[in-house]
Amino acid sequence: MKIKGDIYSVGVVDKDVRIFHGYATPIGTTYNSYLIIDEKITLVDLVKAPFAEELIANIKKIVPLEKIDNIICNHVEPDHSGAFPKIIPLCPNAKVYGTLACEKELHAYYPETKFEFQLVKQGDNLNTGKYNLNFCPMPMVHWPDSMSTYLVEEKLLFSNDAFGQHIGTGQHLEEEIELSILLDQAADYYANIVLPFGGQVERLLAQLANRPIQLICPSHGLIWSNSCGEIIARYQKWAAGEVNQAKVVIVYDTMWHTTEKMAALIAAEFRAKAMEVVSINLQIEHYSYAMTQLLDAKYVFVGSPTLNNQMLPSIAAFLCYMRGLRPKDRIGMAFGSYGWSGESITLVQEQLKAAGMELLESRKALWNI
């Protein structure tokens, strides 16, 4: 599909993926790859290994692979490089462009694949004829190798994972979907992938500040056109850690409904204080949805009954996942029911404290309320 000028989208849709390293993707995702036709032909990013043949077929509809001169590898995570061992032998004239970390990771993942590599740094330019591609490394957004590439003449940013969304519905362009849905999906993606790297995102946004941007082509989901300014503003807000001081997220699991009843009472209590409350039962919702809600919430209350002297495994998984994503400056509370020993409340509290949270006094219920 032509995006603009001589730039094509040649990526693939993975409508079936439901868990993306721990993150629930109920509507699948895409692995976007872009082809730039110019005097020198450039391929930007690849796709996950099982989709290599589909990528090859998409490229062949536009140009024979042996005519590709440049392959830009903005990120080595295998959802964007898995096709590398199949693509490289078909592009004998191609040079691969990436960061130092990119080169090391490509050799580590694909030791049998021989390729010519061109190391690029911040501000380096690749001229392909009528187009100029500027390289903008963005380390730890979200891997050491991560990079974005700016196409000067079209004011277009190939942003890789940044500004992505896991939407595998087959749509390509922002105009094909309601903006509120697209922004919600981008928030979901930020909360579950990018959240630990706010400082690095701020550095990326500072790099981009002096560049006019009319199109953002991420490596997952839809291309931003009319709302580039809006999604950049949201990234600024999320990276700065701005939250709603009056929003509470309650995350719980329950055995015989006492912890569930506690969650309902806590929700009613905080709603009576004019606070927005989102209550998430992990028997129904995936924990990554809880992270999405926590993106802009000041408070997180976590409830688990005690089972075999422990918290419930669903709550342990959520806490482990949340700690990894490192939300900052939140206020937490542990609650839960118990029959005789009641360790879960202390265990949850310890995890919230280890996540750096200020804690409200925990709440316990014996047997029933």
Residues that bind ligand FEO (CB under 6 A): 75, 77, 79-80, 142-143, 161, 219-220
At closest approach, how far in Å is the CB of 146 from ligand FEO?
Answer: 7
User: Would you state the structure tokens that stand for residue 6, as one six-digit string?
Assistant: 């001589």
- What are the C-alpha distances in Å from 156 to residues 218, 228, 274? 10, 10, 43
Catalytic annotation, pick one of 97, 220, 252, 287: 220
| Residue of this chain nearest to ligand FEO (CB atom) | 77
Instruction: Of 6, 67, 14, give the one whose Cα is nearest residue 34.
Output: 6
Cis (ω within 30 of 0) for the bond into 107? no
Clarify whether 172 is annotated catalytic.
no
How far apart (Å, rounded) are the C-alpha atoms in residues 241 and 254?
Answer: 31
CB 218 to ligand FEO: min, Å:
9
Distance, in Å, from the CA atom of 238 to the CA atom of 221, rounded to the nearest integer, reads: 19
Closest separation between CB of residue 29 and ligand FEO, Å? 8
Choose, from 45, 97, 142, 188, the residue flagged as catalytic.
142
Catalytic residue among 45, 77, 174, 253: 77
Closer to ligand FEO by CB, 103 or 145: give it. 145
Catalytic residue among 45, 75, 252, 338: 75
Nearer to ligand FEO, 219 or 362 (CB): 219
Name which of 24 and 316 has its Cβ closer to ligand FEO: 24
163: number of CA atoms within 13 Å, CB side? Answer: 28
Using a 10 angstrom Cβ sphere, with 0-12 exposed, 13-18 middle and 19 or more buried, the burial of residue 130 is: exposed
Q: Is 142 a catalytic residue?
A: yes
Query: Taking the complex as a whole, how short is the minimal distance between the CB of residue 219 and ligand FEO, in angstroms?
Result: 5
Q: Cβ closer to ligand FEO: 143 or 287?
A: 143
Nearer Cβ to ligand FEO (146/314) = 146
Residue 286 annotated as catalytic: no
Distance in angstroms (rounded) separating the CA atoms of residues 45 and 79: 10
Contact predicate 314/283, CB 8 Å: yes
Residue nearer to ligand FEO on the CB measure, 219 or 259:
219
- Annotated catalytic residue 79: yes
Using CA of residue 347, residue 349, residue 350, residue 351, what is the dihedral sign?
A: positive
The alpha carbon dihedral of 223, 94, 91, 98 has a sign of: negative
Query: Of 45, 103, 105, 161, which residue is the catalytic one?
Result: 161
DSSP, res 307: B
Asked about 161 being catalytic, the answer comes back as yes
User: DSSP states of 22-78 as a string?
Assistant: TEE-TT-EEE--EEE-SSSEEEE----GGGHHHHHHHHHTTS-GGGEEEEE-S--SH
* Shortest Cβ 331–ligand FEO spacing (Å): 31
**Residue matched to tokens 């963005």:** 138
Whether 77 is a known active-site residue: answer yes
| Enzyme catalytic residues | 21, 75, 77, 79, 142, 161, 189, 220
